[in-house]
Amino acid sequence: MSLPKLSQSYWLQTTTIPSFPSLTQPIETDVAIIGGGITGITTAYLLAKQGVRVTVIEADRLCHGTTGHTTAKMTAQHDLIYHELIAHFGEDSARQYYEANKEALQSILHIVKEHDIHCDLSVEDAYVYTTEETQLYKLEAEWKAYETLGIDGAYVDQLSLPFSIQGAVMMRNQAQFHPLHYIKTLVELAVKYGASFYEQTVAQHIETTGRPIVRTKNGATITCDTVVICTHFPFFDPAFYFARLHAERSYVIAVEAHERLQGMYLSANEPKRSLRCTTMDGKPLLLIGGESHKVGQGINMIQHYEALQSFCEHTFGLSHVLYRWSAQDLITLDNLPYIGPIRKSLPHILVATGYRKWGMTTSMVTARLLTDLALQKEHRYAHLFTPSRFIADPSLNNLFTEGIDVAKHFLTGKLEYALRTPHDISKGEGAVVNVDGKRAGAYRDEQGTLYVVDTTCTHMGCELEWNNSERSWDCPCHGSRFCFTGKVLEGPAIEPLQQLKGDE
Ligand code: FES
């Protein structure tokens, strides 16, 4: 059995999202949204529907980032989290987190129904299970939290999966869908309500004295009342977000199946496995996800796909992998997303980040919250998600650990001495090389063309690692990613890598 050669998201391959021009001149609007993923588009839809003038700009193409590479489970069951939330934030905050996500799910279901969106939506129960007896105490604690918070679910010790489990916590009536079929309609509706979209438009800076002005890399400007930053990692960082977030990469394979899996599943024990089914041309397609690791700090990346493939073959007896793709997610110090003013003193610059892999419901939580903030209305969950919340345990520990981790990778990369030169790189290979005594990165494509770049990350100077599965240079410090040509694929970096001469 072999893997598809290219990493291609099933969702992106089966949807045509409308395309838009880039912004080239000064404009004026009420709300400028930076980032054209599900959060930016949903916020644009909600605001435009209320008559607000909205402009969305996207550095690449709409939905080609994490939104186009999700597993698209819509659930308030965000792994094992409620026991932890009660312990760290108290029962009221844990309940608010659940209710915010439950309401978000209901909002999405309502929009799908209201506009009759054909997006393969199905209501499913969601399960977190364990196959290890030693992990049972975690599930029992989580179930106790469900009972305390009144979450509609059950504790079970059997599942309709082809392997036995020790126990599972179920949350009833969650959902799954084809995210891009849904989002495509939201884009069309937002445009109908008057929103403007621009692609290939990179935001570079925000002037915050007076009325906010967003400046783009090609010299265009957007003058507005409110800026909403949903660029995944905030491109504008006046409050040290780079020290309060870390990026993780995870992998998905889509495999032709014989029968449809009922329910959505996630293992509590390692290695993590996420399971759900969708339908392709009337046949079931099983999505298996997992193998998460910090960006730029994984093993040979193709081995992550091979691990999922091996699990699939041994567990389900399925071997026909049709698609494979990977996604990048951001995680905050205390596991709650940061949604609200980017800094207390900048109430008109709003940010949303750190969804911890649960972007489908969290994007709607964000869109509802930021819509109210942009309209200067109170919002029930504003306090819970505010980025300026008090940093309590375990945040301080995590802040310390993140700092050490970044410093370690900063130094390790600088001290590494490469023995190979660009001349040694074969077709289809990428590696760290030595150019004039300095560390550089080289990749030779299948036609033999050599690309050599400076591997110093343009964000804050850490050294990049080669990702052989995506053919990219990934930063172990804050997760920026660059194409082998040097072009930015994921921020927080804005500037491309310097291209070097790779004399042979
Ligand atoms: Fe921050 Fe690379 S992403 S140094």
* Residue 32 identity (one-letter amino acid): A
Cβ–ligand 1 contact at 480 (below 6 Å): yes
CA of 424 to the centre of ligand 1 (A): 28
Cβ–ligand 1 contact at 406 (below 6 Å): no
Quick one: average pLDDT of 158-171?
96
Q: Return the pLDDT at 1.
A: 57
Cβ–ligand 1 contact at 492 (below 6 Å): yes
Mutate to test the pocket of ligand 1, among 405, 408, 459, 463 (most ligand atoms within 8 A of CB): 459
Give me the chain's average pLDDT, please: 92
- pLDDT category at 294 given cuts 50, 70, 90 is confident
CA of 444 to the centre of ligand 1 (A): 24
- Asked if omega into 422 is within 30° of 0 (cis), the reply is no
Quick one: average pLDDT of 445-472?
91
Alpha-helical runs (H) found in 301-439: 302-316, 359-374, 382-385, 395-415
Cα–Cα distance measured from residue 235 to residue 493, given in angstroms and rounded to the nearest whole number? 7
Above 70 in pLDDT, residue 416? no
Cα–Cα distance measured from residue 371 to residue 387, given in angstroms and rounded to the nearest whole number? 16
**Percent of the chain at pLDDT exceeding 70:** 93
Q: Phi, psi (5° rounding) for residue 322?
A: -95, -35
CA of 38 to the centre of ligand 1 (A): 24
Q: Return the pLDDT at 399.
A: 55
Token pair in block for residue 471: 């053919």
Cβ–ligand 1 contact at 488 (below 6 Å): no
Token pair in block for residue 48: 């435009």
Mutate to test the pocket of ligand 1, among 232, 249, 408, 460 (most ligand atoms within 8 A of CB): 460
Cα–Cα distance measured from residue 211 to residue 228, given in angstroms and rounded to the nearest whole number? 14
Cβ–ligand 1 contact at 458 (below 6 Å): no
CA of 459 to the centre of ligand 1 (A): 5
- pLDDT category at 219 given cuts 50, 70, 90 is very high
Q: Is-contact 497 484, C-beta < 8 A?
A: no
CA of 234 to the centre of ligand 1 (A): 12
Q: Is-contact 457 441, C-beta < 8 A?
A: no
Cβ–ligand 1 contact at 136 (below 6 Å): no
Cβ–ligand 1 contact at 483 (below 6 Å): no
- State the pTM of this model: 0.89
Instruction: Look at 32-41, 70-79, 433-442 and tell me which has the smallest mean pLDDT.
Output: 433-442
Q: Considering only CA atoms, which residue is closest to atom 4 of ligand 1? A: 460
Above 90 in pLDDT, residue 288? yes
Quick one: average pLDDT of 99-105?
98
CA of 284 to the centre of ligand 1 (A): 40
Cα–Cα distance measured from residue 169 to residue 167, given in angstroms and rounded to the nearest whole number? 7
Cα–Cα distance measured from residue 94 to residue 102, given in angstroms and rounded to the nearest whole number? 12
CA of 91 to the centre of ligand 1 (A): 36
Q: Return the pLDDT at 296.
A: 75
CA of 496 to the centre of ligand 1 (A): 12
CA of 464 to the centre of ligand 1 (A): 9
Cβ–ligand 1 contact at 159 (below 6 Å): no
Q: Return the pLDDT at 406.
A: 60
Atom from ligand 1 closest to the CA of residue 460 = 4
Cβ–ligand 1 contact at 174 (below 6 Å): no
Q: Return the pLDDT at 414.
A: 56
Atom from ligand 1 closest to the CA of residue 242 = 1
Atom from ligand 1 closest to the CA of residue 410 = 4
CA of 36 to the centre of ligand 1 (A): 22
Cβ–ligand 1 contact at 457 (below 6 Å): yes
CA of 304 to the centre of ligand 1 (A): 23
Quick one: average pLDDT of 100-121?
98
Cα–Cα distance measured from residue 186 to residue 15, given in angstroms and rounded to the nearest whole number? 13
What pLDDT, in 10s, does the model give residues 348-374?
A: 999 999 999 999 999 999 999 999 999
**Residue 378 burial (C-beta neighbours within 10 Å; 0-12, 13-18, 19+):** exposed
User: What letter would DSSP give residue 67?
Assistant: G
Cβ–ligand 1 contact at 475 (below 6 Å): yes
Cα–Cα distance measured from residue 388 to residue 29, given in angstroms and rounded to the nearest whole number? 27
Above 80 in pLDDT, residue 391? no
Atom from ligand 1 closest to the CA of residue 462 = 4
